Chain A
Amino acid sequence: MDSKISSWNAVLLIFNAIVPTAFIVLPTIIVTYLDQDSPWAVLFAYATGIGMAVIIGLIIKHNEGAPFLEWVSKVSSPVVSTLLGLVLLQYYLDASSSILREFVNFLKDNVLFQTPILVIIVISLLIAAYMVHQGITTLSQVNSMIFMLYFIVLPIYWFGLKNYLDIHRLLPVFDHSYRELLLGSMTPVTWYSEVAILLFLAPYLKNPKHAGRIGHRALLIITVLMTMNLSEMIMIFGSNYIKATSYPGFISLSVVHIGNFLENLDILFISYWMLSIYFKLGIFLFVTLECFKQTFRVKEKEPYLIGILMVICAECLYTWKDPSKLTALNAEGRFPIMMLVNLILPTLIYLYSLMAGKIKSRRKETPS
């Protein structure tokens, strides 16, 4: 087993498991529903996210950081555990392949126009596989070092855009109905539910009982960053322009310039984003592999890793070939799936284990 991950490394691991794709996918979807009220959707999602982090934290505290599916097997039955494992495995394979496809689509749209998709996919998967091979602790430590680069990248980004900010574009506040706020918040809530990967990271945490706190801190950092970025994008471009673009985040990056001597910095930001998405992919690949190991109760990872990589590669190539399908999934399809997998099923198992525990203790108390 890998050595343990410190709490802060775990926070940054969750951070990077959510932010890279959220940065490119969320703005257009949220702004479509909420225009200038979009930052409120992120705050609303955060409020919901706290609840999710608490539930995930309670589950991990309850099972004392045991491997999730092993614990499910103990509290219910091996059949339930295997069935749940299969559902989760399908979900994580799907999630990994869609993350990869978003990455590939972006590269094909913006940087590598001629490079065959298969080459990009294979190279990306090899990098992610190498990360997983090094173990989750190494991955989390390097991930934290990469996070530190934000302290260089973000000030340049914010400072380089200061001349274009117009606060009026964020007004009026609360111009949209609660229905629109709910619709706009659904997708960020979906992304925030990925905090559930803690269930599979728990055995590797130094302090599994702090899992709730880890999730909460990660969501707080994400919320601060996303709110600032989204507000900044709206203050620069206004909501109508954001709706018309596929990658508003990157357009705002291309606008960054400091005088005439520091411009065309988008490639710097894109490189950094690529770096962080490799980590996201690595994290999800690790969780997929963990899920596989726990579902089929195997100990070795190498032989299965290759198989998983091939499935992800095939799914990425063929299932998400049509970009509109991926957009529809992000906008509408993810919410029910991710809520079910990340929140509802684990919560049901948790509640069942609590009830079963109570019944057991009551039986013990009752003299036969």
Chain B
Amino acid sequence: MIKPTWARGRKVLYLGLSLCLAAVTLSGCWDDRELDELGIVSGTAYDWEDDQWRVTYQIINPSSTSSMGGSSGGSSISPPFLTFTERGSTVTEAVARSNLTSTRQLFFSHSRISIINVKAVDQGLPALLDLFLRKPDESETLFVFLSEREASDVLEQLMQVTKNQGMGIQLMIQQESRLTSYYPGTRMFELTMALSSDSHCATIPEIKLTKPAVMDKVEDTQVTDLPSRISLGRLGVLKEDRFVGWLNTKQAFGLTFLRNQINAASIPFSADPKKEQNDSTFSLLKSKTVVKPVWDNDHFVMQVGIRGEGMLIETGGKADLSKASELARLEKIIEEEVLEYVNAGWRAVQGLNADVTEFATLIHSKYPKRWKQIEEDNSWDQVFKEIEIRPSVSIDINRFGLSSKSYKSVEQN
């Protein structure tokens, strides 16, 4: 009796084991992708030329990446990334065409950035966004940038410290957003969300080269000061899939205050109101903006309350910071500066008639009935034009470093 039971048990065991083995190995047979057959895309540039998409892919060069730690060895000969440019009536056609020239299948999951030429935005942004929503290996978290010159030029430019350019640009925008807060970076899913929100408007930072030349040879980077560099520029404004204009840095900074997206910032100001030249800097370390919409007879008023605190890190004029009155005076000046940024940002946004402030969402949430009426009348553009903002700023200088008096006051004593 024992023998047959054992034999049966062994059979079941073997069957179980072979099924597990089959389960583990079979599913990989069709969808296997070998690493050395993949071209890992770290960035993509989209241009529009002759009624066609011109798509440039930046692919990490593995032979260079292996020696990326230092500047010597193979990396001096081989560029850290390679670019391919293909054309197609659709973006996917351009991807498919890459197989005619590349030995590796393009792999997009680790893509860091997408640069879109302004003309390409007007021609086919919905198609591009649809591709990102639909295609599973596209990364929704990559950062999007606008370029006024050919986007491929920016993608071909080499960087010095960070050799993976896509990652380098990602680090640049993250650092800018964390330390300077002129504007936050826009990830692909944020762009889609903003354009599908109540306001149907979005912002995308500009990426550019500081000079017309493109540094795309490894030898070009063997200098201490690159003649032409990648740089973040203005803030592009999109309304319903179309590019409508730029905000300069000051206006973008004001908008960032309005949208409560300040992480940290430096605010230069003149400690002496009689002088126009800035001589002091306040480091804003904490900021909170609360926007409350109020219906005022015939238009909306946005009550904008900004509270910030931080440290005085530079002062060129005479100032005795141990005196409360002196601190209050400086705080007042900084508040005026912030107000100026906010007003400049608001004027620019209202001038473009593009609600990148997300006021539509706030009004929708506070005045749902009125919002329904606005939607029915399709009158948000008109309502937005008539919006008035009433900003109030409160700044607190709660630290001023190691010295309580400015150097100039010490010098004059």
By the criterion CB–CB under 8 Å, are A245 and B133 in contact? yes
Give the distance in Å from the alpha carbon of A109 to the alpha carbon of B171 in the complex: 31
28 A-B residue pairs with Cβ-Cβ distance under 8 Å, sorted by A, are A111-B31, A112-B27, A112-B31, A113-B31, A113-B136, A115-B31, A116-B30, A119-B30, A120-B27, A123-B23, A127-B23, A168-B358, A168-B361, A168-B362, A169-B361, A172-B364, A172-B365, A172-B366, A238-B196, A238-B197, A238-B361, A240-B197, A241-B192, A244-B133, A254-B139, A255-B140, A257-B141, A264-B110
> A175 to B19, alpha carbons, bound, how many Å?
53
Tell me the smallest distance from the CB of A142 to a CB of chain B, in Å.
15
**Within B161-185, which residues are at the interface with A (CB < 8 Å)?**
170-171, 174
Bound complex: CA A245 to CA B30 (Å)? 26
Q: Which residues of A contact B141 (CB under 8 A)?
A: 254-255, 257, 263
The digit string for A283-307, where 1 denotes a CB below 8 A from any CB of B, is: 0000000000000000000000000
Chain A residue nearest to B19 (CB atoms) is A126
Known: A168-B365, A236-B193. 8 other contacts (CB 8 A): A123-B26, A123-B27, A126-B19, A168-B361, A171-B364, A171-B365, A240-B193, A254-B140
Check B368 for interface membership: any CB of A closer than 8 A: yes
Chain A residues with CB under 8 Å of B189's CB are: 237, 241, 251, 255
> How far is it, in angstroms, between the C-alpha of A176 and the C-alpha of B16 when the chains are bound?
53
Task: Tell me the chain A residues, 92-122 only, with Cβ under 8 Å from chain B.
Answer: 109-116, 119-120
Q: Are B22 and A123 in contact (CB under 8 A)?
A: yes
Asked if B90 is at the interface (CB within 8 A of a chain A CB), the reply is no
Q: Is A130 an interface residue (CB 8 A)?
A: yes
Contacts of B139 in A (CB 8 A): 254, 264
- B1-45 CB mask vs A (1 if < 8 Å, else 0) is 000000000000000100100110011011100000000000000
Query: B196: which of A171, A244, A254, A264 is its contact (CB, 8 Å)?
Result: A244
- CB neighbours (8 Å) of B29 from chain A are 115
A255 vs B190: C-alpha distance in the bound complex, in angstroms? Answer: 10
| B21: min CB distance to chain A, Å | 11
In the bound complex, CA of A260 to CA of B185 (Å): 14
Residues on A with C-beta less than 8 A from B362 are: 168
Interface residues of A in 222-244 (CB under 8 A from B): 236-238, 240-241, 244
Task: Flag whether B160 is at the interface (Cβ < 8 A).
Answer: no
Give chain A interface residues in 122-163, CB to chain B under 8 Å.
Answer: 123, 126-127, 130
Q: B133 contacts A119, CB within 8 Å? A: no
Of residues 105 to 157 in B, which have CB atoms within 8 Å of A's CB atoms?
Answer: 109-110, 133, 136, 139-141
Chain A residues with Cβ below 8 Å from B174 are: 260
Minimum CB–CB distance from A125 to chain B (whole Å) comes to 11
State how many angstroms separate the Cβ of A127 from the closest Cβ of chain B: 7
- In the complex, the answer to whether B31 meets A264 with C-beta atoms within 8 Å is no
Bound together, the chains give a CA A240 to CA B361 distance in angstroms of 12
Known A-B contacts A120-B27, A238-B196, A255-B141; A264 and B109 likewise in contact (beta carbons under 8 Å)? yes
A114 to B136, CA, bound (A): 13
For A114, give its contact among B22, B26, B30, B133 (CB under 8 Å).
B30
- Chain A residues contacting B193 (CB-CB under 8 Å) are 236-238, 240-241
Q: Are A130 and B16 in contact (CB-based, < 8 A)? A: yes
Nearest chain B CB to A328's CB is how many angstroms away?
20
Rounded to whole Å, the gap between the CB of A163 and the closest CB of chain B is: 10
In the complex, which residues of chain A have a beta carbon less than 8 angstroms from the beta carbon of B361?
168-169, 238
Q: Which residue of A lies closest to B140 (CB)?
A: A254
Contact A240 B196 (CB under 8 A): yes
**Distance between A160 CB and nearest chain B CB, rounded to angstroms:** 11
B193 → chain A closest CB, angstroms: 5
Residues of B within 8 A of A238 (CB): 193, 196-197, 361
The residue that B27 contacts in the complex, of A109, A119, A169, A237, with Cβ under 8 A, is A119
In the complex, what distance in Å separates the CA atom of A109 from the CA atom of B141? 19
**Cβ contacts B347-386/A at 8 Å (1 or 0 each):** 0000000000010011011101000000000000000000
How many angstroms between the C-alpha atoms of A264 and B109 in the bound complex?
8
- By Cβ-Cβ distance, the 7 closest A-B pairs, closest first, are A171-B365, A114-B30, A240-B196, A115-B30, A172-B368, A110-B136, A123-B23
**Residue pair B30, A109 in contact (C-beta under 8 Å):** no
Cα A74 to Cα B30 with chains together (Å): 53
Which B residues are in CB contact (< 8 Å) with A244?
Answer: 133, 196
A115: chain B residues at CB < 8 Å are 27, 29-31
Residues of B within 8 A of A240 (CB): 193, 196-197
**A126-B30 in contact (CB<8A):** no
Using CB atoms, name the residue of chain A closest to B362. A168
Binary B-proximity of A253-272 (CB < 8 A = 1, otherwise 0): 01101001001100000000
List of B residues within 8 angstroms of A255 by Cβ: 140-141, 187, 189
Docked CA distance A183–B288 (Å): 39
CA distance A255 to B141 in the complex (A): 6
A119 to B174, CA, bound (A): 44
CB-CB < 8 A to B364: which residues of A? 171-172
B23, B109, B187 interface centre (most CB from chain A within 10 Å): B23
- Determine the distance from Cα of A255 to Cα of B191 in the docked complex, in whole angstroms: 13
Return chain A residues, CB-CB under 8 Å to B192.
241
B19 touches A114 (CB 8 A): no
Report the Cα distance A55→B169, complex, angstroms. 60
Q: A112 contacts which chain B residues (CB < 8 A)?
A: 27, 30-31
Give Cα A17–Cα B181 distance, bound, in whole angstroms.
47
For A110, the closest partner residue in chain B by CB is B136
Give the complex CA separation of A116 and B368 in angstroms: 49
Contacts of A237 in B (CB 8 A): 189, 193
- Residues of chain A lying within 8 A (CB to CB) of residue B26: 119, 123
Nearest CB in chain B: distance from A273 CB, A: 15
A278 to chain B, nearest CB (A): 11
Query: Using Cβ atoms and an 8 Å threshold, which residues of chain B touch A175?
Result: 368
A257 partner residues in chain B, CB cutoff 8 A: 141
A130 in contact with B197 given A169-B361, A251-B140 (CB within 8 Å): no
A residues near B27, Cβ cutoff 8 Å: 112, 115, 119-120, 123
A255 to B136 alpha-carbon distance, docked (Å)? 13
Chain A residues whose CB sits within 8 angstroms of the CB of B365 once the complex forms: 168, 171-172
A240→B23 CA distance, assembly (Å): 39
Q: A244 vs B22: C-alpha distance in the bound complex, in angstroms?
A: 37
The residue from A114, A169, A245, A251 contacting B31, defined by CB atoms under 8 A apart: A114
B56 to chain A, nearest CB (A): 23
Q: Which residue of B lies closest to A114 (CB)?
A: B30
A123 and B189 CA atoms in complex are apart in Å by 34
Complex CA distance for A111 and B28, rounded to whole angstroms: 11
B30 — which chain A residues lie within 8 A by C-beta?
112, 114-116, 119
Q: How far is the CA of A246 from the CA of B109 in the complex (A)?
A: 19
Separation in Å of the A117 CB from the closest CB of chain B?
11
- Kindly report which residue of chain B lies nearest to residue A264, judged by CB atoms: B109
A206 to chain B, nearest CB (A): 29
Output the least CB separation between B304 and chain A (Å): 15
- Nearest-neighbour CB distance to chain A for B33, whole angstroms, equals 10
Q: From A167, which residue of chain B is reached at the shortest CB distance?
A: B365
How far apart are the CA atoms of A172 and B109 in the complex, in Å? 36
Cross-chain contact A126 with B23 (CB below 8 angstroms): yes
- Closest Cβ–Cβ distance, residue A108 to chain B (whole Å): 10
